[in-house]
Amino acid sequence: MQTQRILVPWVLGLGLALLTLALLGRTARSTTAAPTAELRVCPAGPPTCDYATVQAAVDAANDGAVIKVAAGVYTGVSARSGVTQVVYLSKTVTLQGGYTVTNWSAPDPGAYPTTLDAEGRGRALYVGWGVSPTIAGLRITGGDAAGQRGYAAYWPEEYDAGGGVYVGGAAALISRCVIYSNTAQWGGGVYLSGELAAIRESALLSNTAWNGGGLALAGAVTVEVSGNLIQGNVVQRGDSWVNGGGGVYLEHSLAALRGNVIRRNRAADQGGGVFILWSRFTVTLVNNVIADNQAQVGSGMWAGGSTVHLYHNTLARNTGGDGSGVYLTPSGPKLPFPFLAVMTNTVVVSQAAGISITTGGWTPPPHNTMIMDGVLWFETPITVSVEGGGVVTVENQYIGDPAFAADGYHLTARSAALDRGVDAGVAVDVDGEPRPGRGCDLGADEFPAALQVSKVAGADRVSPGSRLTYTLRVTNTGAADLHARITDTLPAGIAPGRTSGGTAFLPGGPITWTALVAAPGGVWEETVVVTAAESQTGPLVNRVEVTTEEGAAGGARVVVNHAQVYLPLVLRDYSAACTAHTAALVLSTRRMWCRWGISSPSRPG
């Protein structure tokens, strides 16, 4: 196993820190408001609930209110401030779907869908300037931004934006929503502009636009996009200078994209999965899967004149045009921004070209740079293509089969990506499962480490002054080598003894070892010999705990009875302990003991 350590660029830490502080600030503003009112919405209206429409509840609410919406389809648009939508939201409230008229306490949006359907007559949801609402558990569909305007980055009010959801200058949190079958010129599913916002654990499906089929971010947005499925969105060829970002379009924005699956999206021109333009702020992508997207240029991702940091991303099977996983270029002669791309622990699979770097035919600005550390290439005939110059550095690269599972991105035990990553300071993977600092896997997924721990005593009973032998065993049942720390906490009622390696130890307290336990099937074993104290009268309880840098852990415990402990006392004091530790309890008329089995690990997380 090869391990390397790199210093994560300070910009990543600064950018995420600022984003986190801003989100906390937004939350603090909401939670410090006056006591909130609860308003209930259902299709039947009063007296079953408070209101028959979501808009009526919003109009009646004060800042800080919680609006609970029961299952049903809510239609009917209205015009407010020159725009048309099902719900116009200009207050700091929580809008939560997934309730029933008999259960207003525990929402379940999957079982009880709450749908805002604009029926093609306007947007489904408009969020106005300067508020901090939470929108959760809704299905948002049928939105059409035709004639609504709203794109306000470099050509204000020129294009229609945000078919399903439009957020203009609001610190909105969108969580666990399904946003599907909406259309606009910019941001078919969602358009975000202006201020802090976050989209978490949502699905953006089958939306259509000229730019940003699923999601468009424009105009100095500070946004978090995390844990989402962005799939099946389409960018059509329209009357704009670019038609890009089948899944995500990001322009002049500070953003962090973490743990998203961006797949099966299509763009007429650039960036089948992700399109990034003129982002002099740092755009960070961590633990994303960008797979099976299509475009003419930058099938997976296109970035022009931007600073992008990518950590633990998987780019796979993106097709069309140049077939590149990532396409990097300066922004052009009018805004001559160079690009800076830092890519760490990447998996690139089945691309015509892995990384394509070009100046686009004009004189490039200085300092075009790509730094790549830790990459697995597979079925990618051209790994890095450079046209027109630039500084390119690639280190710790490998060629091999990632051996994906059936879903096309999770790793299996025979993957060539296992254990080859450098330490990028990323603590979890795309599923939120732990990553080790050393020996992490390449790409978005971390294959789980696993181990078994056992401890066996040489006898089930011990007399005062007699010797007792413990055998400890750690077995690596996973696919990655484990850097283990084994701690054996000895009982107090023993005299000094020695380990099998000859090391003396004091009575009672812990003994600690560190060991490399190789995969697969590697075993670490140690024997500890102790002497029961002459004054020892009760059972000797001995436990071993194992932790690893890779995240796997386990433990085992063994109880050895004193020779003078009688059966009734043993049954009263220790049978429950045996059962609690999944031991097999063996009883006879003469003695009792715990037969401690091997603990079975579960997938971390």
pLDDT digits (tens, 9 = 90+) for 324-343: 999 998 875 456 678 889 99
What angle (nearest 5°) sits at the alpha carbon of residue 67, between those of residues 61 and 68?
155
Per DSSP, the chain holds a count of helices (H) and strands (E) of 3, 49
- Taking the C-alpha atoms of residue 260 and residue 410, their distance in angstroms, rounded to an integer, is 13
Return the pLDDT at 535.
67
In 3-state terms, what secondary structure has residue 395?
A: strand
**Rounded to 5 degrees, what angle do the CA atoms 346, 352, 357 make?**
70
Residue pair 544/555 in contact (Cβ under 8 Å)? The answer is: yes
Q: What is the DSSP string of 162-222?
A: -SSEEEES---EEES-EEES-B-SB-SSEEEESS-EEEES-EEES-EESB-SSEEEESS-E
Q: How far apart are CA 391 and CA 385, in angstroms?
A: 12
157 burial level (CB within 10 Å; 0-12, 13-18, 19+):
exposed
Query: Distance between alpha carbon 592 and the CA centroid of its chain, in Å?
Result: 48
What values do phi and psi take at 57, rounded to 5? -70, -40
- Mapped to the 3 state alphabet, what secondary structure does 111-130 carry? CCCEEEECCCCCEEEEECCC
Fold of 451-595: Immunoglobulin-like (2.60.40)
Give the C-alpha separation, 150 to 564, whole Å: 85
Specify whether the CB–CB gap between 379 and 353 falls below 8 A: no
Helix runs in 529-583, H state only:
567-580
Strands 254-258 and 222-226: parallel
According to the model, what pLDDT value does residue 355 have?
Answer: 94
- Amino acid identity of residue 10, one-letter, is W
SS (H, E, C) 318-331: CECCCCEEEEEECC
pLDDT at 587: 28
Q: What radius of gyration, in Å, describes the C-alpha atoms of the chain? A: 30
Residue 562 and residue 280: Cα distance in Å, rounded? 72
Contact by Cβ (8 Å): 600, 452: yes
What b/e readout covers 30-52, taking b as 16+ CB neighbours within 10 angstroms?
beeeeebeebbbbeeeeeebbbb
Note the residue count of the chain: 605
Identify the segments of the chain with pLDDT beneath 50. Answer: 1-35, 333, 562-605
Alpha-carbon gap, residue 168 to 151, rounded angstroms: 9
Tell me whether strands 78-80 and 123-127 are parallel, antiparallel or unpaired.
unpaired
Q: Answer for the pair 563, 463: CB distance below 8 angstroms, yes or no.
A: yes
In the three-class reduction of DSSP (H, G, I as helix; E, B as strand; rest coil), residue 54 is classed as: helix
**Distance between CA atoms of residues 96 and 35, nearest Å:** 18
Residue 495 CB-density burial (10 A; 0-12 exposed, 13-18 middle, 19+ buried):
middle
In 3D, which of 19, 8, 6 has the Cα closest to residue 281?
19
Task: Using the structure block, give the residue that is written with the tokens 């051996």.
Answer: 403
Question: Would you list the domain boundaries of the chain?
Answer: 1-32+119-141+162-447, 35-117, 451-595
